[in-house]
Amino acid sequence: MIQILHLVEANLITEPEQTLELTVQTCLLGVGITLLSEWDVLAFVYRHGATLTSAGQIARLIGYESTVVGGALDRLERQKLIESSRPSHGVHEVRIYRISASTNTEHRHWIQQLFGLSESRAGRLLLEKQLKSVRPDAGNEAR
């Protein structure tokens, strides 16, 4: 009887975690983010609103190399998750970055859900677990 109770308790504990993990996976797939650096750059732009800055400045603030942030910004722009004031000509060029106004409703929903999940420690840990980190040879992430 005690063993059965422990099994039931274990299933009750892991079921919400599995649901949360599935939600995070679904949102990340829907948005198209696979790298932790992309998430961190998107979070920076999302939290700061329209920001006049450069990839190099963002890199210093969030702790990545400039080339990593530049690559993440480029990928996020191609996916139409963020937009900038003009085409990139280097990591030191200052531009205005903001969440894309053309982001479709479904993407906006997933992004908002991810930011809601990232407010809790459990959500942040799941995001980190699901996303690929920058490799030690840094500057060139998987594309």
Assess if residue 84 is contained within a domain. Answer: yes
Could you list the residue range(s) of the whole structural domain that residue 12 is in?
Answer: 2-130
What total of structural domains would you count in the chain?
Answer: 1
39 vs 28: CA distance, rounded Å: 9
Please, what is the angle between helix 121-130 and helix 105-117, to 10°? 120
- pTM of the predicted protein model: 0.77
- How far lies 105's CA from each of 12, 31, 79, 109, 137, in Å? 33, 11, 14, 6, 37
63 vs 10: CA distance, rounded Å: 38
CATH of the domain at 7: 1.10.10.10
Rounded mean pLDDT for each run of 10 residues along the chain, 143 residues in total: 42 61 88 93 93 94 95 93 79 86 79 90 89 59 42
pLDDT of residue 8: 40
pLDDT of residue 103: 66
Assess if residue 143 is contained within a domain. Answer: no
Reduce the DSSP state of residue 53 to 3 states and report it: strand
Ordered alpha helix ranges (H), the chain: 2-31, 36-48, 55-62, 66-78, 105-117, 121-130
Is beta strand 95-99 parallel, antiparallel or unpaired with respect to 82-84? antiparallel
